[in-house]
Structures are given as C-alpha cells and as structure tokens.
Structure 1
Amino acid sequence: MTTEQPRLMRAGQAMAIATMVSRATGFVRTLALVMALGLGTRLLDVYTIANVTPNVIYELVLGGALASVVVPLLVRAAADDGDGDLFAQRLLSLVVYGLAAVVMATIVAAPYIVDFYAPGFNAAQRHVAIVFTRYFMPQILFYGVSATLAAVLNARNRFASPMWAPVANNLIVIATALAFLLLGGDGRLDSLTQEQTLLLSIGTSAGVAAQMVILAVASRGAGFPLRLRADLRGIGVRRIAAMAGWTLLSVVAAQASFTLVTRLTSKAGPGAVSVYTNAYTLFQLPYAVIAVTVITGILPRMSRAAAENRLTDVISDLSRSLRLTAAMLAPVAAGLIVLGPRLTTLLFDHGNASPAAARLTGSVLAAYGLALVPFAGYQIALRVFYALGDTRTPALASVGVSMGFAATSTVAARFFHGPDLVIALAACNTLTYAAGFALTVHVLRRKIGRIDGHRILNTLTRILAAASVAGVAAAVTVHALAPAGTAGSLLAIVTVSAMLAGLFTLGARVLRISELNALTAALRRTSH
C-alpha cells in the first residue's frame, strides 16, 4: 500500500464530515416535506416537479459545464498567469448575465414547461405546479452563482466550504415545512390556501439564495474579490463553449432520461413522482458522502497531473479512487437492497405520509441499491476524461447510458404499470449504469494505455464476494424478524446493519482486501 491512500483519506475527512452534515440535514428536510406535504399525495408530486425543474433547466443551460469543465480551466488559468481572479470574475459575470435572462424567459414559459414534464397532471395539479414553478425559477441564477463560486474555492483547494453551504438551504426549507404544518397544511391539494402556497414558494427559493450568500462570503474569505465585469474579453468563451459543447450533449442526454422518468411516473398514479424522487434521494446519500468526496478532492489533483503530463499519477489516483470507493460502498449497497422497505417505513411513515407509499419507496430504493457501486465507478471514470481535457468521450458515454435507459424503460413500461413500473424504472437504471461503467473503463484503457486494470478487477471481485455473502445472511435475518412497522423496522435496521457490517469486515479480512485496512487505520487516527 502506498502512502497516498491514507493521505487521500485524510484530505477527504473534512469534506466527508461537511457532506455528512449537509446530507443529514437534507434528509431531515426530506422528512419534513414528506410529513408536511404527504408522501403519496398529489401535492407532494406537484411540489417535487416544480422544485426539480429549475435544477433541470440550470443543468441544461450551464450546470454540466460548470461541474466538469470550469475547475480544470480555473486551475490552468492560475498556473498560466499566477492569478486567476480576472478570469474567475469574468466567468462569474457571464453566469450572472446569462442566467438572469434564462430566469425571465422560463417564468413566462412556466405553463409549457409543466405540461412537458408532467402530462399526467390533472387541472388542479397543473395550476398549482405553474404557480410553484414561477416562484422557483430564480433558483436557476442562484444555482449558477453558487456553482461558480464553489469552483473558484475548489481551484484554491478550499473544498469544505461548498459542502457546508447546502446546510443553510436545508435548514430554511425545514423551517418552511414546519411553518406549513403550523398554518394547518394537511397535504391535500384541494385545501391548499394562498398563504400556504406563498410560504412554500418563497421559503424554498430563499433556501437556495442563502446557499449562494454563504459561498459568496466564503469566496471573499478565500481572497477572491467579488466583482461583476462588463468586459468579458479574454475569458475564452469560444474555448469554454467548445469544451462545454460535448458536456452539454451529455447533460441533454441525462435530462432526456429525467424527462422520460417524470412523464412515466406522472402517469403511474398519485404519489409516484415523489416516491421515485425520494428513493433516488436516499440512494444519493452514500454516493454523495463517499464518492463525491473522493471526486471533489481528486479532480484538481488529476487536472494538475494531466496538465504536467504525469500520466502515472493520473492512473494511480483513478485506481485508488475506484478501489477505496467500492470498499466503502459495497456493504452500504447490500444494506439498501436488504433493508430498503424497512428503512423507508422508519423514515417516512409519519405525518401526512401514506404507509403504502413509504413501503413502495423502499422497494424502489432496494432496486437502486444494486446500482450504487457501478454508478460511483462510472462517475469517477468520467472525471479522468475531464482531467485530461476530453469532454467528448464522457458526452458520448452519457448518450449511450441514456439511450440504454430509454430503451429498457420503454420496454418496462409495456409490461409494468402503477407501483411496479416505478420499481422497474430503478432497475433499468441499475442495468444501464453497470453497462456504462464497463464501457467507460474499456474506452479509458484504450485511451491511456493502462489503468491498473488487473488490480482494480481483482479488488472489486473480492469486495463483491464479501458483500454478497454478508448480504445473503442479512436477507435471511430480515425475513425472520418482526413484520414491517416502525418498531419492527427499527429492530431490523439495527440488528441487520450490525450483522452485515461484521460479516463484511470478516469476509474482507479473509479475502485480504487491503483497502479495508486503510479505512480502518484512517478511522483510528481520526478517533485519536
């Protein structure tokens, strides 16, 4: 084992803590919204579609480029002239001017946007969705400014602040949900008052605005002078557009998949949209805490190594990232598969939520659990291409994944309906991300010659074996425990999680998975 493994993990500890707090408050936010608006209700479906739409439009217009292209550009701009402030200021100005225009256009086009994403909504749902959407559209600008400032901080090796900022967003939305309950909100669309509508609309967008303000303060603290510039010359708009062009294709492909999901789930019955969305949110938690932490820390390193033509270091970072991430995520994936319905019953079966919808969310989560490791591996592999300045290959890979999902989900929609379709859609994602990971790694190997493939494959095989044995034993135990319900679910989660962790650790030691030893050592150092 090299000394880089513990160094990488130590560098990621602060980010992991910030991400865990952010995601923990994010879950409290999800729980608060479910209690207030009611999982399985038409109101939560309307709120979900309206609140996700600004994210979708932002990603289509700019988000993909900012996420994967701008950090390497900022790093190289600073390396070229020793001061990337002017470049960053012009970039921030471009984002503000461009997205402000997008906000105004989308507010006007709100009815058409709602009709496009949710053709299954009835007249009452459509009306409320349009109102929400118009209030939520300024979030597009807030997201863009936040992402730009986060990229500036990451390029300066300030990783923790951008991960703390969403906490403010979550806390404000939690307060909004609680205030909605205090105003007598019961989760019924037909009883929603104008005051309640304004509270949800303004409170939700205020959360995103607060996130932006915190990043602005952090940027000033890092020495970045916040200033909008009228002169955008020298920013290399054509270069950014050329690099982001392929990224935009990737984003369009991903959003096409999202659109297909929302259109299908909006027709799958009341609550189907929010069931699918909440299952995906749960699925994203371990990915965000573990894989996103690794990706955020490794991208600037790989970008610098690629810029200096240190290909061996790029390969080393890729191999280490894949192996460590898989070792951490595999037992979590087994837990999601085995405990999905128990976990969501414990989390969501409260307030205005429907018990049946809570259990369905768990079944969708279990199907998503199978995708956790390949999805993380796929995302890590894509970052290598971005570090090498190649945005074309990730875009084509994303198109391939999206086409695979479109094909499998279209077939699934012919054979499954209602709740079964929602579960089938999550399974389709699993299949396509597994294929996408395999294909991306193959293309990457052909591009750079070698990727430490034998070691990666050997480690992933042993990790999968240890997780599978532990998962089977955990599944048998779950069926032997008390039936689902809040108390039974809590008992199952505590008992089976401990068993699964213990069995996976034992299996990892028997199979000599060295990454587990590195993780254990890092945790011991942290505790001291």
Structure 2
Amino acid sequence: MTAGSSLGRAGRGAAVATLASRAAGFVRILVLAAVLGLGSRLLDSYNLANALPNVVYDLVVGGAMASVIVPMLTRAALSEPDGGVIYAQRLLSMIGYGLGAVTLVATLLAPLLVELFTPGFTAEQRQLAVVFTRFFLPQILFYGMSAAAGAVLNIRGRFAAPMWAPVANSLVVTGVGSLYFVVGGATSMQALTTPQLLLLSLGTTAGVFAQLTVVMWALARSGFPFRPRLDPRGVGMRRIGRLGGWMLLSVAAAQVLFTVATRSASISGPGGISAYQNAYALFQMPFAVITLSVMTVMLPRLSRSAARLDHRRITDDLSLAIRLAVVALAPVAAAMVALGPQLAALLFAHGRSDASTVGLVGTVMAAFGLALVPFSGYTILLRGFYAMQDTRTPALITGGVSAVGVAGCLAAGAFLPRPDIVVGIAIAYGAAYTTGLVTAGLVLRHRLGRIDGHRLVSTHARVLLATAVAAGVAAAVARLLTPLTGPLVVVAAAGVLGAITYLVAARLLRLTELGRLVATATAGITRRAADPRVRSGRTARRTG
C-alpha cells in the first residue's frame, strides 16, 4: 500500500466524517429552530449562551491545539523511550486542570460575558442567557479534553473517533430538542418552566459530554493508560506559549469579529442573533465539505514542496486548489444568492418559527453567498504560509481581515435600519474575506515571485460567466414557480435546471478544472471498488 493511497483514503474519510458531522449539526439547528421558534427571544438567548463556551475555549487553547500541541505530541512520540506516553499524560492533565480553572472563572464572570455580547437584549432576556451560560460553560472543559484526547489518538494512528465524535453531540441535542417538543416546551421566556429550562440546559451540555465520551472510550481502547499527573514539568509550557502566540493572535482577531457581529445582531431585534448564526452555519457547510477536503489533499503536497524550497510547485498547487474550490463552490454560492428565500423557507418555515425571521434568514443567506468564494480562496492561501512554517504572516493578515469586518459590522449597526443590520453583517464578512484574499495573494506573490495569476483570472472569469447564466436560470424558475407551489418543488426544479445550465456553460467555456474535480472525486470510488479486499468484504456481508 502506497503512502499516497493511504493519504487519499484518509482525505476521503475526513470528507465523509465532516459531511456527516455537518449534516447532523445542521439537523440539530433545524430541530431547535422549529421547537424553540426561530425569531423568539428564547432561541436568541439559548444560541448566544451556547456559543460562549466555544469562544472561551478557542481563546484559551483552541488555536494552539493543531499548530503547537499536536507537533509537540508527535515529537515526544518519536523521541521519548515510552513513545511519549508520560508526556501525553502530563499534557492531558495540564489541559484538564487549566480548563477546569478557566471554567470556574468563566462561570463567575458569566453576567459580564453575556453583557459583552448582548447590548440589544432586554434585562429578562439577558438574565435567561446568563442562566443558560452557567449551565453551558462546563463544555469548555469537555471540548478541551476531547480535542487533546483526539490529538493523542491521531498520534497513535487512530483517526475515526475524533472525526465522528461530534455526530454523537448533535444526536443527543437533537433528541433533547425533540423531547422538549413532545413535553410541550415553551417558546416564550415567560412560559418557560424550571423543568423545561433544565432539560434544555443539561441536555445540551450532555451532548458535548457524549462527544468527549466517544473520544475517551476510543483512547482507552487504543491501549493508552490514563493516569493523572500533578507535576507539569517537562510539558514545555514556555514553548507552547511562544509557538502559539501568533496563532492566538489569529484566534483572538476572529473572536473580536464574532463578538462585534453578535453585538450588532443583538440590536437588530428578536431573531437577529439566530438569523445571523443560522445563515452563517449554512455558509460554512459547503466550505467545510468541499474546501476542507481539497485542502486535506493539497496540504501535504504543499508541505513537501516547501521543505524542498520548490516555490514553483507551491504556486502551482495553491493555484490548483483555488481553481478546484472555485469551480465547485461557485454554483453553490450562486444558489444561495438566487434561492436564499426559498432555501430558508424549505429549511426553517416549520414548527414555531416566525415567518418574518425565516425571510430574514433567506436574505442573510443570499448575502453570505457572495462571501463564499472569497472566503475559500483566502483560507487556501493561508495554508500556503502554514506549509512554509510561517504563522506570523497569516496572523497579521487575519488581524486586518477582522478589522475590515469589525468596521463593516459597526457601520451596519450605526447606519442601517434595525431589520437590515444582520444583512449588513453578512456583507461586512464578504468585504473582509475579499480583502484577506487580495492581501494574501499579494504577499505570496512578493514572496514566491508568482501566483499563477493568468490562470486564476481566466478560471474565475469563466466561472463567473457560467454561474451568472446558471443563477439567472435558477432565479427565473424560482420566480415562475413560487406563486404556484411550495419551496421544496421550487428549490428542486430551480436547482436542477441551474446545475444543468452550469455544467453546459462550463463545458462550452472549457472549464477543465470541473472535469479534474469529478475525476478526483470518482478516482477513490473506482479504486475502492477495484480493491479485492473490499469486494471480498462485501461478498462476506452478503453471504453472511
């Protein structure tokens, strides 16, 4: 078995796990929106409180996990006589003790945290958010231990459990939301009873605990001996702090943008925070499934080229990754722009959701569609810097991106009518990511000498033309069918005809990247079908 085939399977496995995780997470979002009522102050308080543990965790350790802690675990596994077991035990213990202390402090500061994000909340709504937050903040510890244990598993060659564990989280919370509906849970803060509050609060945190349980169970199955260590010496705290500094700046800049965006959304009225978060979750799904899969395959090649100082190959690989991503994501972005209201109605116009908030989600989704391609290109270019072991430049670029986004969000809150503030937030994100894409491209061109600009411009121009035609067809079909039938038929018909138009236009415009993308996706399926071990396994399952 070659390293390339192993890498290919790992990349496809990561894509499948990511798709399953995002799909399960999105079902959770839909269930909670339908049960708690999209547009209700109750859902806004719940969503805000549920986001705060992630904010604190990312600021404390999340940024250092992949960039610093995983490489140090790898080094210990290769250099220590015990394969890095004692080092991993000390690191897990240190993270557990540290995040436990952070959780206690954050719980005490819960009112201040909520106040920071919610200038537009009423006093009653803010108080409910504080109560939810105090129940949710233990998730900081659960997320941290899950990530650290997952890193140890990856070092030991076990990848499945950390990738699939978030599905357990989503399944538990989806079940909690369904149970809340069955027992007649309230949609207003005034009608919320203590048992209903406990069901939502404890059930949501139980989902994160389930995620941790899956990873810890897998770590125990791998033969790793659990043993708390009180002595943190030898972990390398100074090295972690020094190496993680620039990554911390990147994370902090992103969290500042999230904070300002959430504050702006809170003053847009009931449903503003939920509209922003749900539209942003939709925006992230195609990026996670398509762009992250492309980067999973390309990053090892980029790292090898960087190690050989082969700048031409780095440029070619970055160019290819961007061109494959834009060909795949542009029609998705066009669908979001052309069919945003219909998609929102299909997904959210159920249960106890408010019709006006559903319409707002559709408009915000359309605005986020404009940001999808720039965001993907910007993220891919940053991987070029990481491949060259440069974390400083991406941190500085991310700081500039956040500054542009923050300015846009503040302008939206100051100058737009309240219902339109959330739309302005999405436009601010698009402007920020476009700025990041252009800046990263210029810096890389200066460092590498070229960025394959001619092919990039040519591909983007042809993709723009193909998607514009396809979006026009989809929008025309949607306008024709919307008065006549429901959103499911509208989205299906407009989506199919738009996709066919895009494929035909891409062929006429000779978008060869589309064929390469399809070939890459089908190659793994073909190789798997041809593998005798797979065929024998299928035969055994059929005969068994």
Q: Compute the TM-score of the two structures, normalised by the length of structure 2.
A: 0.89
Contact 2:46 2:132 (8 Å CA) reproduced: yes
Distance 1:329 1:352, change over 3 A: same
Write the mapping of 1:22-41 to structure 2, written as runs, cut at 5 A.
Answer: 22-41=21-40
Partner-residue secondary structure (3-state), 2:233 = coil
Contact 1:43 1:187 (8 Å CA) reproduced: yes
Distance 1:310 1:239, change over 3 A: farther
**Which residue matches 1:54?**
53
**Which residue matches 2:497?**
499
Contact 1:46 1:128 (8 Å CA) reproduced: yes
Aligned-pair CA distance for 1:74: 4.2
Partner-residue secondary structure (3-state), 1:184 = coil
Q: Choose which of 495, 506, 509 in structure 1 pairs with 2:507.
A: 509
Contact 2:264 2:409 (8 Å CA) reproduced: no
Distance 1:331 1:121, change over 3 A: same
Contact 2:341 2:363 (8 Å CA) reproduced: yes
Aligned-pair CA distance for 1:292: 2.4
Contact 2:408 2:424 (8 Å CA) reproduced: no
Distance 1:513 1:77, change over 3 A: farther
For 1:71 and 1:296, the matched residues in 2 are separated by: 16
Contact 2:8 2:297 (8 Å CA) reproduced: no
Distance 1:353 1:223, change over 3 A: same
CA deviation map 1:67-101 (0-9, x unaligned) = 44434444555566694545444332322121111
Distance 1:342 1:131, change over 3 A: same
Contact 1:385 1:391 (8 Å CA) reproduced: yes
The answer to which of 62-71 and 111-120 deviates more is 62-71
Which letter maps to 1:257?
L
Distance 1:394 1:369, change over 3 A: same
The answer to which of 436-445 and 74-83 deviates more is 74-83
For 2:301 and 2:92, the matched residues in 1 are separated by: 23
Which letter maps to 2:124?
A
Distance 1:155 1:294, change over 3 A: farther
Distance 1:501 1:76, change over 3 A: farther
**Which residue matches 2:13?**
14
1:410 is the counterpart of 2:410: yes
Aligned-pair CA distance for 1:456: 3.5
Which letter maps to 1:513?
L
For 2:84 and 2:112, the matched residues in 1 are separated by: 41
For 1:288 and 1:159, the matched residues in 2 are separated by: 18
**Which residue matches 1:442?**
442
Which letter maps to 2:24?
T
CA deviation map 1:447-482 (0-9, x unaligned) = 344444443443333323322221222222222222
For 1:305 and 1:421, the matched residues in 2 are separated by: 44
The answer to which of 40-49 and 6-15 deviates more is 6-15
For 2:28 and 2:279, the matched residues in 1 are separated by: 14
Distance 1:230 1:137, change over 3 A: same
Write the mapping of 1:254-403 to structure 2, written as runs, cut at 5 A.
Answer: 254-299=254-299, 302-303=302-303, 306=306, 314-403=314-403
Write the mapping of 1:87-486 to structure 2, written as runs, cut at 5 A.
Answer: 87-155=87-155, 158-222=158-222, 224-299=224-299, 302-303=302-303, 306=306, 314-483=314-483
Partner-residue secondary structure (3-state), 1:268 = coil
CA deviation map 1:43-82 (0-9, x unaligned) = 0000011000111111111112214443444455556669
Aligned-pair CA distance for 1:510: 2.1
For 1:145 and 1:308, the matched residues in 2 are separated by: 36
For 2:225 and 2:155, the matched residues in 1 are separated by: 15
For 2:221 and 2:512, the matched residues in 1 are separated by: 40
CA deviation map 1:151-177 (0-9, x unaligned) = 344456654433211110000001111
Contact 1:72 1:303 (8 Å CA) reproduced: no
For 1:293 and 1:218, the matched residues in 2 are separated by: 24
Distance 1:470 1:293, change over 3 A: same
CA deviation map 1:191-233 (0-9, x unaligned) = 0000011111111011111111212233345565544433333
For 1:463 and 1:223, the matched residues in 2 are separated by: 50
User: How many residue pairs get matched?
Assistant: 524
For 1:129 and 1:27, the matched residues in 2 are separated by: 22
Distance 1:76 1:274, change over 3 A: same
The answer to which of 501-510 and 48-57 deviates more is 501-510
Distance 1:209 1:293, change over 3 A: farther
Give 5+ residue unaligned stretches, structure 2: 530-544
Give 5+ residue unaligned stretches, structure 1: none
Distance 1:407 1:470, change over 3 A: same
Q: Choose which of 477, 488, 491 in structure 2 pairs with 1:490.
A: 488
Which letter maps to 1:30?
I
Give the structure with higher Rg (CA): 2
For 2:373 and 2:73, the matched residues in 1 are separated by: 30
Identity %: 49
Contact 1:303 1:388 (8 Å CA) reproduced: yes
Which letter maps to 2:43?
L
Partner-residue secondary structure (3-state), 2:186 = coil
Contact 2:48 2:129 (8 Å CA) reproduced: yes
For 1:171 and 1:15, the matched residues in 2 are separated by: 19
Contact 2:327 2:513 (8 Å CA) reproduced: yes
Distance 1:371 1:392, change over 3 A: same
Q: Compute the TM-score of the two structures, normalised by the length of structure 1.
A: 0.92
Partner-residue secondary structure (3-state), 1:370 = helix
For 1:292 and 1:238, the matched residues in 2 are separated by: 31
Partner-residue secondary structure (3-state), 2:234 = coil
Which letter maps to 2:139?
Q
For 1:316 and 1:160, the matched residues in 2 are separated by: 31
For 2:253 and 2:234, the matched residues in 1 are separated by: 31
Task: Please report the RMSD computed on the Cα atoms of aligned residues, expressed in angstroms.
Answer: 2.6
For 1:198 and 1:378, the matched residues in 2 are separated by: 42
Distance 1:43 1:406, change over 3 A: same
Aligned-pair CA distance for 1:8: 7.1
Distance 1:368 1:45, change over 3 A: same
Which letter maps to 1:43?
L
For 1:512 and 1:497, the matched residues in 2 are separated by: 22
Contact 2:267 2:413 (8 Å CA) reproduced: no
For 1:268 and 1:393, the matched residues in 2 are separated by: 35
Which letter maps to 1:369?
G
Contact 1:253 1:399 (8 Å CA) reproduced: yes
Aligned-pair CA distance for 1:315: 4.3
For 2:80 and 2:305, the matched residues in 1 are separated by: 18
Contact 1:327 1:516 (8 Å CA) reproduced: yes
Contact 2:68 2:243 (8 Å CA) reproduced: yes
Structure with greater contact order relative to length (CA < 8 Å, sep ≥ 6): 1
Contact 2:59 2:248 (8 Å CA) reproduced: yes
Distance 1:155 1:508, change over 3 A: farther
